[in-house]
Structure 1
Amino acid sequence: MKSRTLKQNKVNIITLGCSKNLVDSEVLSGQLRANEIAVTHENEKFDHNIVVVNTCGFIDKAKEESINTILEQVSYKEAGRLDKVYVTGCLSERYRGDLAKEIPEVDAWFGTLELPFILKELNADFKKELLGERMLSTPKHYAYLKISEGCNRTCSFCAIPLMRGGHVSKTIEEIVTEAKHLVKNGVKEVMLIAQELTYYGLDIYKKRMLPDLMRHLSDVPGLEWIRLHYAYPSKFPMEILDVMKERDNICNYLDMPLQHCSDPMLKAMKRQITKAEMYDLISAIRDKVPNMALRTTMITGFPGETRDDVEELKSFLEEIRFERVGIFTYSHEENTSAHDLEDTLSSEEKESRAQEIMEVQQEISYEKNQELIGREFKVLVDKIEAGRYIARTEYDSVEVDNEVIIHTDEDLPVGDFVQVKITKAFDYDLEAELA
């Protein structure tokens, strides 16, 4: 069937995977718009004729979702609803040779760091003067702020360095400029993201510079919340906590993926830390910032994990009582050092273990939330959903953490901060009234 041709191209970008991918899509959108090319993100109107699929290649489920999305867009092209389908991102970076053979209908494949080549394909020029400017796909009051690319760690389960390369920091000046652009466009909260936040600056400044960056960002007028995501526990720079204590607009929130607590598992995962060291680190963090909300992620089903390891992990959660926890099941990643380890557990057993561990955390989360009833908090109104206002405290990040449902007859503008009093608490959500 002959494809349709529009008078003017319109590009739709579909983003899969993590917030780092989302930022890449926003940068691409900003560049296209600066080239006077119509662009949209995850367009439901289907008035576009070109699609760019920004893929994720992190774990099996993400790969499957990416491939299914590519095939769906190809089917639209074959039906004459699209003129071009392009693919970028982590899956394309890692498997483009094989994918190009399997899905020849895709017009071109691009890696994670090939933005200028995508623009050239779309008859657009890469505009260096757009440093820090991008077209947000999030609500305008919050944004992700990527401070570095890639990772130098050698965790045995992780393929990110294969897809994103080694660690490359942006300069403090670049990041502050971007933050100022974001605030100018209405952003009140930024979430600092990187594959490894605490490594920031080692490559260009020859020392860990995250605390200095935090101070510079804290000085940006209008930036009311700064949140830290993905801090590696080994050789954690404690000065981060000093900055948190001295700056009111840095959230008492830390996302620090630990992945496991059993020493045999930590060694097999090449995490460069022991269980005892993790206990000491968490104790030191809570001593310095007593009201810190600690979020972590764990992996279950790693090759060699025993029932004892699972019980140890459950006990660890009961002792530490993290505010937020996410659980992943292990999947083999090609060319990682753990790939050739024998996988002795079925996917059903892995899922069963994940559920078992999350039930422990669910009870902890419920108990911690019950303790909040009657307390007052400053919250950020994120959205209106089913006639209700949905907000977050400084202890909760977007999409992954608790939400606060506000009951009121007053009009609350989305993106505003309000003071509320918690009236009810559940496993993962809170209800509140205006204070």
Structure 2
Amino acid sequence: MRTLHLIQVRRAGGATAFQGSKAYAWTVFALSFGLILSDYLSRQAVGAVFPFLKPVWGVSDSQLGALVSIVSLVVGVMTIPLSFIADRWGRVKSITLMAFVWCFATIACGLATSYTQMLIARAMVGFGEAAYAAAGAALLAHTFPEGKRSAVLGAFQSGGIFGSVMGVVIGGAVASQFGWRYAFFAVGAPGLLLAILYPIFVRDYEVPPLHEGESGDSIKGRLRFAEVFRQVFATRSGNFTFAAFGLQMGIPAILIAWVPTYFNRFYDYAPKKASLIAAVVVLVLGVGMLFGGGVADWLSRGRPRHRALVPAAYALISGLMLFAAFALPPGAVGLVLLIGGALFAAAHGGSAVAMLIDVTNPAVHATVTATAVLGVSLLGTAPGPYLVGLLSDVANLRTALSIAPLMSLAAAVLFLLAARYYEADIAARNAAG
């Protein structure tokens, strides 16, 4: 059977040895953050050009939704295989190649002459982005000490939201001014510079071992894929968190994809204004993600179970506010509720990833993050925008968006189930050493 080689360098006493100086660490963060901005710029700008594509090609809402969902579907299917390749070939080289692929694929979207060509180019965007979240998170987790892990990973994840904001704003503004093709050129080209700089400034690292010698010195281990699977899904709280995290992340994907069109159709905003107002909603998503993990850490000091209860509350509040926002007639109250729901829609992200890391073996943390990306893609970001488009074709977009918050309610229940087992799973993980 094929095996995965895992190596880790440790100091005496078991503390992980991290690379380089503070300046180096923050350089890695800056470049990694820049690439995740580029990642989501490329991924989400398409939502801002929906009003332009629909009359040009005469496509349905479900077809428009598929342009968003195909990226998440390919990311979900390919994230684990490509993460394994990245571990073997090298994370820095892999990240560099990924960035070139998604940037050129985004530019290809602007050259598409048919819906089918656009769909294929969007699939290639997903292929390029498939392993970046996992590889980037693993690289940052190694570069920064454990005490800063939650904050750094939460900030890294928030780059996806802020990249989405920029994608919506830039995509809508450029499409309105110069045409929809130039929107893809504008968001695809800047990432090429970061792809060139990344391997110049960032060093790779060796992946951690499953076993450690009695003296604490690093040794080579051979971790079978069956053992990887067992370790990743070893805890009940972790499994519930995988599902909850995936479902709830479908809500930000739906908002980013469809809110510009919702404002265009139901608030009668011009596409440019609709994109700008939608960007405010997406920006609020990022604020919630940026600070949600910190709030959860603060509330869970001395009470670890609260780290799981807080994201359950986030999901519940988000679901109720968004349901009310789309159920009410368009107006100021609905807009305030929409912004409030967006604030909590992605706030669970840092807590969920931290929970997964807390209850799993350090040797499989890179695979855990890849599996979390898989769950997000297959449970939330891939089906969410497409199903909303499908329901919109059957009824209308407002009705479809009113139904979508059911995902948040399901996520809240799953986080509550995770909270039931979380402390016991942490104790078992610590006892295992």
- Going by fraction, where is helix more abundant, 1 or 2? 2
What TM-score results when the alignment is normalised by the length of structure 1?
0.26
Higher strand share: 1
Structure whose CA Rg is larger: 1
Could you say which structure has the greater relative contact order, defined with CA pairs below 8 angstroms and 6 or more residues apart? Answer: 2
